[in-house]
Amino acid sequence: MTREKITLFDTTLRDGQQTPGIDFSVEDKISIAAMLDDFGLDYIEGGYPGANPTDTAFFTKKRTHRARFTAFGMTKRAGISASNDPGLNALIQSNSDAICLVAKSWDYHVKVALGCTNEENLDAIHDSVKAVVEAGKEALVDCEHFFDGYKANAAYAVACAKTAYEAGARWVVLCDTNGGTQPPEIRAIVSALIEAGVPGSALGIHAHNDTGQAVANSLAAVEAGVRQIQGTLNGIGERCGNADLTTIIPTLVLKDTYADRFETTIDREKLVELTRLSHAFDELLNRSPNHQAPYVGASAFATKAGIHASALLKDPKTYEHVEPGSVGNFRKVMVSDQGGKANFINELKRRGISVAKDDPKLDRLIEIVKEREATGYAYEGADGSFELLAHRTLGTVPEFFAVESFRVMVERRFDSNGNLKTVSEAVVKMVIDGQTVMSVAEGDGPVNALDIALRKDLGKFQSEIDDLELADFKVRILNGGTSAITRVLIESTDATGARWWTVGVSENIIDASFQALMDAIVYKLMKNRQLAGQIAAE
């Protein structure tokens, strides 16, 4: 059976630009367009040349090799001809392959926002599309508020879509601009429009996520006959965002409901780049990826349930809707107090620690983890501390050094120039090989001072931890209130590129930080010895 093509239209750089908190520079747009183009989308909408300096600069050149580089803009104003409309001419002059014209299709908006007659608006659609096509470019028309417009005045909304189609628009895109339309309405309205004479092969869908239905509405439109989907990377966009292409694409490619009937330019081979693309985009935006994102999230194939975890290990297909590798993601089975014994053994194995199922030390380890997690430790997010605890319980980890005492002081006072100043200082007293060593350091804050003091002079181990770096630090207050327990998580890294998280819990934040810092250092020393083969896997 031949499969029909679903065309993918990316509006990350145009509608995505409306996301609160996101502001692309020209350089950002160039990098993102290259990422999208490499991935293989059909259309990349770059922005609105003429509307702002960034977009005008971005459209001084064609920025894609494969995808159709698309400029967004408005249809001509009523009362002047297409050739005399400066906005429309700027669009036509821009270095784009295609032009996506936004047109009103809700009569109320024609009256209130444009202040012209319904007929004048139809003429503006017709003449603008003609002008684009005559200039040798492909024309698309975004019918703004199509679904709300249809509910208010069906005949007029249909007339707008038909006018665009008959004037030569390659695609007539039905926009749920306010994002409130539900899938059954999408199916019914799209079917009615096709019935009225605009073929599905010329129709697109542009959905927003205001009711959490952007993906569902896009696919409901496809079900009803639409053959182009507009969306954005990671679902960015105005208000609650646009339809998320990182969700829609794998569903189209991997789910029989769609894959049996449709194909896209992204095939199974290309799809394995999806997770990397999604994370690279978040990197560029300098924001942490959504762990719970479908397909590409760090938790999308993570399991912490005991029963599920053991079944998952027996046969992954029973608990995974798709193979994680198909989208370039990974399976993750997490340690936690819900984990069963099989899960535990497997987690240890992944870390190179093998232990017999009936070893009493294993029961002891499970018991310690449960006890500690009950008091606030979270080993699922602290693999370094977990590994250290496992090695300590199942085998032996040398006591490399002991901290006899420490003192941390924070002082806010006026300095000699009369300026208010806050100083943090830490003093650490430790014993290394029978030798007592004292270190003192100042830092940005008390934890930073303690970190520096702890790693300042580790005697014969000092050269081993020179490349140790604190990469991230998280604090969570458990149970709230005045008698709060504090959990500190620290991420460390070193010259080998390894990264590990360690945890500390105490009613005293400095003490919790101290535990996590100590684990971070001892983990590093243990890891060095494992690499050197001095500690055999227990």
Site for a copy of itself in 447-466 (CB under 8 A): 447-448, 451
CA angle 504/505/510 to nearest 5° reads: 75
Query: How far is the CA of 535 from the CAs of 347, 387, 458, 529, 538, in angstroms?
Result: 19, 13, 21, 6, 8
Binding segment for a copy of itself (CB under 8 A), chosen from 80-88, 125-133, 215-223, 356-364, is 215-223
Contact between 418 and a copy of itself by CB under 8 A: the answer reads no
The encoded tokens of residue 217 equal 């509405």
**Interface residue with a copy of itself, options 136, 399, 412, 419 (CB under 8 A):** 412
**Interface residue with a copy of itself, options 86, 508, 531, 534 (CB under 8 A):** 508
Contact between 265 and a copy of itself by CB under 8 A: the answer reads no
Contact between 156 and a copy of itself by CB under 8 A: the answer reads no
Contact between 422 and a copy of itself by CB under 8 A: the answer reads yes
Of 372, 374, 405, residue with least CA distance to 386: 372
**Least Å distance between CB 210 and a copy of itself?**
5
Do the bridges between strand 138-144 and strand 171-175 make them parallel or antiparallel, or are there none, so unpaired?
parallel
**Interface residue with a copy of itself, options 3, 65, 291, 341 (CB under 8 A):** 291
In angstroms, rounded to a whole number, what is the distance separating the alpha carbons of residues 398 and 525?
A: 10
Residue nearer to a copy of itself on the CB measure, 180 or 459: 180
**Interface residue with a copy of itself, options 122, 365, 510, 518 (CB under 8 A):** 510
Q: Which residues pair with 143 in a beta bridge?
A: 103, 174
3-state helix, strand, coil in the chain (%, to 5): 45, 20, 35
Under a CB-based contact definition with an 8 Å cutoff, are residues 442 and 423 in contact? Answer: yes
Query: How far is the CA of 397 from the CAs of 454, 467, 503, 527, in angstroms?
Result: 19, 21, 18, 11
**Interface residue with a copy of itself, options 78, 342, 445, 499 (CB under 8 A):** 445
Residues numbered 191-210 forming contacts with a copy of itself, rule: CB under 8 A: 209-210
**Interface residue with a copy of itself, options 4, 134, 433, 444 (CB under 8 A):** 444
**Interface residue with a copy of itself, options 511, 529, 530, 537 (CB under 8 A):** 511
In angstroms, rounded to a whole number, what is the distance separating the alpha carbons of residues 437 and 286?
A: 41
**Least Å distance between CB 111 and a copy of itself?**
11
Residues numbered 225-264 forming contacts with a copy of itself, rule: CB under 8 A: 235, 238-241, 244, 247-248, 250-251, 255, 257-258
Residues numbered 66-105 forming contacts with a copy of itself, rule: CB under 8 A: none
Q: How many residues bind a copy of itself (CB under 8 A)?
A: 132
**Least Å distance between CB 258 and a copy of itself?**
8
- Show the site string, 302-341: x = touches a copy of itself by CB under 8 A, - = not: xxxxxxx--x--xx--xxxxx---------x-x-xxx---
Contact between 12 and a copy of itself by CB under 8 A: the answer reads no
Of 325, 183, 190, 321, residue with least CA distance to 256: 321
Which three-class secondary structure string do you get for 473-500?
EEEEEECCCCCCEEEEEEEEECCCCCEE
- Show the site string, 101-130: x = touches a copy of itself by CB under 8 A, - = not: -------xx--xx-----------------
Give Cβ neighbours of residue 256 (< 8 Å, ≥ 6 apart). Answer: none
**Interface residue with a copy of itself, options 177, 228, 230, 393 (CB under 8 A):** 177
**Least Å distance between CB 329 and a copy of itself?**
11
In angstroms, rounded to a whole number, what is the distance separating the alpha carbons of residues 241 and 210?
A: 8
Residue nearer to a copy of itself on the CB measure, 67 or 449: 449
**Least Å distance between CB 510 and a copy of itself?**
4
Under a CB-based contact definition with an 8 Å cutoff, are residues 221 and 213 in contact? Answer: no
Binding segment for a copy of itself (CB under 8 A), chosen from 122-130, 199-207, 270-278, 474-482, is 474-482
Binding segment for a copy of itself (CB under 8 A), chosen from 157-165, 385-393, 483-491, 519-527, is 483-491
Give Cβ neighbours of residue 287 (< 8 Å, ≥ 6 apart). Answer: none
Give Cβ neighbours of residue 283 (< 8 Å, ≥ 6 apart). Answer: none
